[in-house]
Chains A and B, each alone.
Chain A
Amino acid sequence: MVSASTSTTSSAQPMAANAWITEFLERLPAPSGDLEAVQWRGREALARQPLPSRRNEDWRFTDLGSLKALDPALLAQVEATEGTDPAAIPIADSADALPAPAAGTMRLRLDGRHDPLAGQTLPAGLTRLSGEELQQALGHTLARCGCEQHWPVEFNQASASHCLALRVSGSVAETLELVATASGESALLPIRVLLLLEEKASLKVLQVQLGSGSSLSSLVVEMHLGREAEVQHGLLAFGEGEACLLAHLAVEQEIESRFHSVVASRGWALARFEPRITQVEGAAHTDLKAIQVAQDHQLVDGHSRVEFLGPDGSLEQLHKAIVDGHGHSVFDGAVSVPRRAQRTNANQMSRNLLLSDQARIDTKPELEIVADDVRCTHGATVSRLQHDQLFYLQSRGIDAATASRLLKRGFCQEVLVDLPAAAASWQPLQRLLAEV
């Protein structure tokens, strides 16, 4: 059973999981708008499964204390700032202005309530889905990836009242940049995105999630890649304070499509990332890279699943973590290769830097292989900074602190190098290593 935890409600009494979710659901505004049916569905689901239990294997390492410390009554006030211009929402992690969008970038600010496309002219190749198309397509990829009933998805569905839904045709020259900033006390920012790529379409999309205060960001992204479509996806997730993030990415790939994703995360009290990829007929290529940094008492929790439902698919996955202080990093990466997925080529590696005696890393790369003609590898390493690398740098006159910094930068760069070019203006490396 999930144990009771301290809550920041006005009564300051410990609140059980059931009471926490009940209060949240009771205080939510009535379902309405395009997502009304989805909201009903999410709320009914949450009423049945209040909060994930650590008895569930997927949540075994996940301490939800940071989430339950948020005030459910305040979280439920998702409409509280109705009417605020999204451009005027405070920036989560700094008093400075957001960096200017890189050249060739279309920036949209997402606040979960307003239409980010209002007054915008979309680049050639991007069109908004009609209400009818949205109803037909929404949730399809989640179901295909088997995650439509996952708790973070249901939580998002219960609260999100808007979805950015786009069709992608042909090769889109501009990078689509989606920026969401959450701040304030127990403020909830639910973001829902749906991208449908037609045959041979290509898109670069950069998501930036910033969180501060004791906010909770809930992100659910669905992407459908048609035949020979290609997506270069980046997610920069930077939090501070007590901010929490639940990020769920479901991707459906048809034959000869290519999906590349890079996730960089730091600073959340609790962050959970759940990429779920399904190659519906195999013969597609998936690249997943991630770097997550945890320090203090932060928990960063990565759970990926890649499923090959046909032959000749390929996967290259590199998951990295740097953990310091009392931080805790989790990686649970499943790769499913059923009998019909012959000649699959899947490589998965988890590399972790453990920088303090109090920090903790749990990593579980996992291959589920039934097909007999496959080439699949996986592995995991947990280490301190390598002494031989440190000595090599020091033997060139570089002091120990600078040598450590260079090694950490190098560790991150192996992942960041594949971010969409537009990410550079956000200084991802400097943010990851708290150099800004």
Chain B
Amino acid sequence: MPPKRWPFSLFLPRFPVISPDADLLLEIVDLHARVEDQPILKGVNLTIRAGEIHAVMGRNGSGKSTLSKVLAGHPSYTVTAGSVRYRGQDLLELDPEQRARIGLFLGFQYPIEIPGVSNLEFLRVATNARRSELAKEDLDPFAFEDLVRERLEVVQMNPSFLERSVNEGFSGGEKKRNEILQMALLEPVVAILDETDSGLDIDALRIVAGGVNQLATADNATLLITHYQRLLDVITPDYVHVMAAGRILRTGGKELALELEERGYDWVDQELAVLEVA
């Protein structure tokens, strides 16, 4: 059985590991995208380096979730301009499964239910797909079960969830924990978590956030998409970005999230109006 890689206890705050010299993992430049005929992203710029945690905040409809889906390769969205490079590679020319295999992970806001497909089989097929990219041998069902039972501890999930169909009949909190379990198995380089805190009570939020903290290392990065400060109370971001009308309007440190919590988003509208006049 592989040794545990998680050095921190569940709720210990993460130590900042950011460095301007760290590897460039994701570089988004002037990204434009639309769904059907509706432009959503209108020039997103964002750079993410190894060891960093970024939070993207903004109102409903600001383009946060669209950004996450475009990065993961959702077929409903069309990129109309701009570029995304992942470790120097053009991400946008890759299929969704290729993006996942090289280390991009999207934690879904609404994880999909797949009746009849056992969670255990799904997790094993996905893990082996990632392992083949890393030139690691496939895990047979027995070896995989050992691994998955160990990783279950990250999100304090009951092993009985492995026998059930993927996300079927799971509560909101269980679905989100299942997302973090997948993250723990796939060991992504860049994890994008789309409103992972939505629909969680405070205990489930702490478990999910604790899992994210455990999985954050100096070699990977996390992009949190959230409405609320409460997630950022337990996962400390290095950068906070405010999104509006399909672009990142302002970037700051964790204090920006506190400012949003205090002042709301009205000032964002004012800044946006000034920008649009200009």
Contact = CB atoms under 8 A, between A and B. Distances in A.
Contact of B112 (A388, A398, A399, A406): A388
A2 interface: no
B108 A392 contact: yes
Secondary structure call for the A interface: helix
Bin the interface of chain A by size: 20 to 34
Given A395-B73, A397-B186, 18 more contacts: A389-B112, A391-B75, A393-B122, A394-B100, A395-B96, A396-B97, A396-B122, A396-B129, A397-B101, A397-B129, A398-B129, A400-B95, A406-B121, A406-B125, A410-B114, A410-B115, A410-B117, A413-B117
A395 B114 contact: no
B27 to A, nearest CB: 21
A421 interface: no
Interface in B79-125: 95-97, 99-101, 105-106, 108, 111-112, 114-117, 121-122, 125
Interface in A357-391: 387-389, 391
Contact of B97 (A394, A411, A412): A394
Interface of A: 387-389, 391-400, 402-403, 406-407, 409-414, 417
B95 A394 contact: yes
A409 B125 CA distance: 14
Contacts of B116: 409-414, 417
B114 A397 contact: no
B146 interface: no
A396 B114 contact: no
B105 to A, nearest CB: 8
Given A391-B96, A406-B117, A412-B116, A397 B73 contact: no
B74 to A, nearest CB: 6
A387 B117 contact: no
B233 interface: no
B18 to A, nearest CB: 27
A399 B129 contact: yes
Interface residues of B, number: 30
Q: Which 6 A-B pairs have the closest CB atoms?
A: A410-B116, A397-B129, A410-B117, A396-B126, A413-B116, A397-B100
Given A389-B112, A395-B96, A398-B129, A409 B117 contact: yes
Given A392-B108, A392-B111, A406-B125, A400 B117 contact: no
Given A388-B112, A391-B74, A407-B117, A399 B97 contact: yes
Interface centre among A393, A399, A402, A403 (most CB of B within 10 A): A393
A224 B115 CA distance: 34
Contacts of A395: 72-73, 96-97, 99-100, 105-106, 108
A396 B186 contact: yes
A410 B106 CA distance: 23
B120 to A, nearest CB: 12
A407 B125 CA distance: 13
A417 B105 CA distance: 32
A402 B125 contact: yes
A414 to B, nearest CB: 4
B111 to A, nearest CB: 7
A387 B75 contact: yes
A201 B117 CA distance: 34
Contacts of A387: 75-76
A392 B108 CA distance: 8
B12 to A, nearest CB: 29
A403 B95 CA distance: 13
A184 to B, nearest CB: 36
A331 B165 CA distance: 26
Given A410-B165, A413-B117, A392 B112 contact: yes
